Amino acid sequence: MKTAFETYQTPFYLFDTDILTSRIADIRSALPPRTQLCFAMKANPFLVKDMEKHVDYFEVCSPGEFHICERAGIDKKRIVMSGVHKKQEDMEYAITRYSDSIIFTVESFEHWKILTSCAIREKRNIRVLLRLTSGNQFGMDEPSIRRIISGGPYEYVEISGIQYFSGTQKKSGAKLEGELKMLDQLCADLQKQYQFTVQKLEYGPGLPVCYFEGETDEEEAMLLALSSAIESLTFKGQVTLEMGRFIAASCGFYATSVVDLKTNNGQSYCIVDGGIHQLNYYGQMLAMKKPFITHYGRQDGEAAEWTVCGSLCTSSDVLVRQYPFHALEQGDRLVFQKTGAYSVTEGMAMFLSRDLPLVLLYSENEQYRVARPALATDQFHFFTQKGDK
């Protein structure tokens, strides 16, 4: 990190691909051998190419994410095209170019109509997963899934299996076990009632990431609980786990510099050159929880509590409150850990027309690679009208 500070200006993201690949290996070693991994690329699209050799599938939820995979040269047989909104022209593009390579998810009868009509019209074979809802706007309820399956088999359309995801940051092994038992029973019922064999079960376990100091780290315990629940399945088909946060969070670091220090009415404030538009932690509450931060600067003297604020013109731009630092000075660097998932994509990045931060990839073999330079955003917020100079 010190080399990065000497070479690049803050703020920046750094994604350590050695940590990433080690994380994936640890996850695989804890799971049953038949389990495959699908990376939800919305967590961090910058990692797709580096993960190509380490995961089995990539979940794509938008045309933009699909085009990223195209530019990265990802094998289309390893793409699961998901998303609650699917436009006909986007599906036509994918089907006419890649036919039966891609796996498509079906989240509604409208999706079913778009996909089947295009497959029939183009005379192209496609594979689909029917997404079972967990009680929200995503997927279809069980009667709808049964209705589609009961009408099969279909020309040009192969129903490969079921997809299910019910949320993130789960901390109950019993919940994972209950969800998988429910899916296990559904697969058995579909076989018994319709003689339909589910070949593939794609499940998003939503395993937790420990983001804050003082929290109990339940990552390993929940992974082992998931492994045990998979072992208990009577379902003998392919089990694919969709993960984003759990895979990518630990490889990411967000670096920002101290640009000003002040005390107002007895409260010490540290102003940094980043802000909440670039840093996002799931479960943070009004900046009261303390993420893991590394302070690059002097470490002598007693610790003093500082409220760290960003560069935005809003009182909401608080990264953390009352964080203890030793000898904090202007020019020091603060590195926020576990920012490998969602921070780079979820923040309100263009607020105040601030620049998009530099994105770095690092590995011991390849050292530092610039995945994206810092980009000015003011160009997106004004247009020159005809006749203006």
| Boundaries of every domain in the chain | 2-11+250-376, 17-248
Element containing residue 129 per DSSP (H, E):
strand 126-132
CB 62 within 8 A of CB 85: no
What is the average per-residue pLDDT within 113-140?
95
pLDDT given at position 345: 87
pLDDT band at 271, cuts 50/70/90?
very high
Nearest 5°: CA angle at 186, between 181 and 189?
125
Decide if 323 contacts 305 (C-beta within 8 A).
Answer: yes
Mean pLDDT of the residues in the chain: 95
Helices (H), 195-342: 219-231, 245-248
At residue 292, the pLDDT reads 98
Strands 200-204 and 157-165, how do they pair? Answer: parallel
Per-residue pLDDT, 317: 96
Per CATH, 2-11+250-376 and 17-248 having the same topology is answered no
Tell me how far the alpha carbon of residue 96 is from its chain's centroid.
Answer: 28
DSSP letter at 42 equals G
Identify the sign of the CA torsion 122, 125, 127, 128: positive
What pLDDT does residue 349 have?
86
pLDDT digits (tens, 9 = 90+) for 165-221: 999 999 999 999 999 999 999 999 999 999 999 999 999 999 999 999 999 999 999
Neighbour tally for 380: CB within 10 Å: 10
What is the reported pLDDT for 296? 97
Helix axes of 63-72 and 88-98: crossing angle, nearest 10 degrees = 20
Read off the pLDDT of residues 74-94 as tens digits, 9 standing for 90 and up.
999 999 999 999 999 999 999
pLDDT digits (tens, 9 = 90+) for 292-326: 999 999 999 899 999 999 999 999 999 999 999 99
Residue 132 to residue 164: CA distance in whole angstroms: 5
Question: Is 387's pLDDT higher than 80?
Answer: no
Tokens representing 52 are: 């190509």
354 token code pair: 């601030």
CATH architecture of 17-248: Alpha-Beta Barrel (3.20)
How many Cβ atoms are within 10 Å of 53's Cβ, its own excluded? 8
Return the beta strands (E) in 12-111 as ranges: 12-16, 35-40, 57-60, 79-81, 103-106
Do 293 and 335 form a contact (C-beta atoms < 8 A)?
yes
Could you please report the per-residue DSSP string of 127-164? EEEEEEPSSSSSSB-HHHHHHHHHT--BTTEEEEEEEE
Closest CA to 211 of 272, 254, 271, 270: 254
pLDDT per residue over 282-293, tens digit each?
Answer: 999 889 999 999
Name, in order, each residue with C-beta under 8 angstroms of 56's C-beta and a sequence gap of 6 or more. 36, 37, 38, 78, 240
- What per-residue confidence (pLDDT) applies to 388? 60
When pLDDT is averaged across residues 273-290 and rounded to a whole number, the result is: 93
Residue closest to 17 by CA, chosen among 39, 65, 56, 49: 49
Tell me the C-alpha to C-alpha distance, in Å, between residue 105 and each of 10, 22, 163, 373, 387: 40, 30, 8, 34, 48
Query: How do residues 217-250 score in pLDDT, each as one tens digit?
Result: 999 999 999 999 999 999 999 999 999 999 999 9
pLDDT value for 389? 56
What pLDDT digit, counting tens, does each position of 323-369 carry? 999 999 999 999 999 999 999 988 788 888 899 999 999 999 999 99
Both tokens of residue 89?
């022209």
Phi, psi (rounded to 5 degrees) for 38: -120, 120
pLDDT of residue 73: 96
Instruction: Determine the topology of domain 2-11+250-376 in CATH.
Output: Lyase, Ornithine Decarboxylase; Chain A, domain 1 (2.40.37)
